[in-house]
């Protein structure tokens, strides 16, 4: 089964379209998404071991010596808070999907704020089989400007292949 994409725009009252498609493509991708940002941790308490003389003496100690800030209430609280944040953070699992990209140009005289993009995949063997992927993109394209709009979706060009469309009805 061979699918060919087609991008179309609805006609305005005049024959000139306000937006023209410069290029378009779709491709299979594997992406991983990051979790949310971490919250700030409280500033550690000032203890006698943080004064200049004790800090200089601690710098001369052998590596692996315990940091006295870890033994304070603030130090232990920040360690617990760090563990809680790490446990709540969603692990980034890679996702298989498709990237749909359209490069458009604003040929009109006004700002284009929102663009409705439709990818139509038409089966060459049977043109009646059409799959559509529709996206709404916030564009904010000034007159004469080109902009590339990209969308990632787990929905591919065709998710289901019917056995009826694969059978040869002419035989």
Q: Which domains does the chain have, with CATH numbers?
A: 3-33+93-166 (2.60.40), 48-88 (no CATH)
Of 34-38, 73-77, 147-151, give the lowest mean pLDDT range. Answer: 34-38
Burial class (CB in 10 A: 0-12, 13-18, 19+), 103: middle
pTM of this prediction exceeds 0.75? no
Confidence of residue 75 (pLDDT cuts 50, 70, 90): confident
Phi, psi of 100 (to 5 degrees): -105, 125
Q: What is the DSSP letter of 83?
A: H
The H-or-E segment that residue 28 falls in is: strand 19-31
- CA dist 122 and 59 (Å) reads 70
Query: Span 140-146, mean pLDDT?
Result: 90
In DSSP terms, which residues pair with 148 in a beta bridge?
Answer: 103
Confidence of residue 89 (pLDDT cuts 50, 70, 90): confident
Burial class (CB in 10 A: 0-12, 13-18, 19+), 104: buried
In the prediction, which pLDDT does 90 show? 72
Q: What is the DSSP letter of 40?
A: P
Phi, psi of 122 (to 5 degrees): -110, 130
Phi, psi of 135 (to 5 degrees): -140, 145
């Amino acid at each position: 089964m061979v699918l060919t994409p087609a991008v179309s725009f609805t006609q305005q009252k005049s024959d000139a379209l306000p937006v023209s498609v410069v290029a378009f493509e779709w491709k299979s991708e594997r992406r991983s998404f990051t979790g949310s940002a971490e919250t700030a941790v409280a500033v550690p308490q000032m203890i006698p071991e943080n004064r200049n003389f004790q800090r200089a003496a601690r710098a001369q100690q052998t590596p692996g010596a315990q940091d006295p800030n870890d033994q304070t209430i603030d130090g232990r609280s920040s360690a617990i808070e760090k563990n809680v944040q790490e446990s709540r953070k969603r692990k980034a699992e890679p996702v298989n999907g498709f990237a749909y990209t359209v490069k458009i140009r604003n040929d009109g005289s006004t700002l284009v704020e929102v663009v409705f993009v439709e990818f139509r995949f038409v089966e060459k063997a049977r043109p009646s089989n059409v799959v559509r992927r529709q996206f709404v993109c916030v564009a904010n394209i000034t007159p004469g400007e080109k902009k590339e709009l990209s969308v990632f979706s787990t929905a591919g060009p065709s998710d289901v292949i019917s056995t009826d469309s694969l059978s040869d009805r002419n035989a």
